Structure 1
């Protein structure tokens, strides 16, 4: 997963990456709207641009054409759609889903490219559901937390943060650390909720340094609960592991 995302962010960052891109007229991708290859949505201030690239990945560019975020979907012609049930999904030309934000269950949700460079999905009632920095409630199977990204509980009381020194740390609202992985002194490390069921901390060199040892449970996901529990559940919601 990390290698795919790294490839997504390694695309050309010059102005030629934007050549021929068609901008939408606002800063949102509303429910039911589609971004085809070379179509884009820009922030109101014009400094940030989300482009569905011909190479297959959805990429957010900032000032100086710097890639800030990219979906792990390079290598195949694809399109992005803000589905009416609330998911942002990238499909290939055979209409097979390649990646999604796991935000279904919120009809009318929309994606916004903000003036501060954040990429956010809001519900129809403007409730925060997902951003390029954060997940709400859970880290889905196949998704990754890079440095500075986190999963927060739905009530906003707890945050599981991937820190720059390499630890994955659970904080409460008072910013008190409640739990941590023993993975410090590894700058650039990241956490991956692998498709086979393991949560793994990798070093910046892609070496596994810590795991929950929950492999063999395809589709498992990590949850940060309103009570402050960090739990890995199977795809049928059976608990497999919890932070001690």
Structure 2
């Protein structure tokens, strides 16, 4: 009986992992709202190459490829399931399972982009657990596209197979660097990027640090001040390294208040949301590091503030 119960519990846990669900917690940050921890499906996983799986290339358990945008990841899970993770439909939450092969519960599986054009998941005994059924289709590689689709593409550019998992996300565009320096400005819907991580400034003033597969590692939570606290929305949203050497989130908005008669009134516009302390002084800079930490440094290279996300995925 105990063995049966253990198997049921394991099956439930594996299903939750496939769906990208886990218990939520918090992480300490210097911003007003604590970061939210997210499912640990990428903990210990290894990124392989870029956004493609080339002919005769294999993904083993715990390996993944990632879209160029960093918003999607295709992970060969240790439980035998091939799962694509991406953002929630609102464009910033996640990760959630966008697509899966449905082969969970078969530990030791691997997926191969075969030379015959077929994408196949093999069990440890080399029998096929799943395939795209594209044998002799002319497909030469798999690509995880920025629109969320997994595509098997032929050499002539035609698509032999796809998942049909288009994403409907708010527009986002790269800042063009992994760091913000004194005098530079990160605008709304823009992001800093390195090989694995993205630091994205939403139009609602929330600053979010993403790991693989749109995995939220940390967020400022500033979007919470909008509903019922300001008149209308925020405009001219941006983040700068100001003249004192602090990271500063700025937006023009009118705070909302209640007067002595109980009426809601709109106060004069202000142009600040949050700034980091202590200041780092002139010449400071803030890189999004390859270890996942976003750090503000003095001109001499001494850290004064950080998100505390180093080593997290």
TM-score by length of 1: 0.50
Higher relative contact order (CA 8 A, sep 6+): 2
Q: Which has the larger radius of gyration?
A: 2
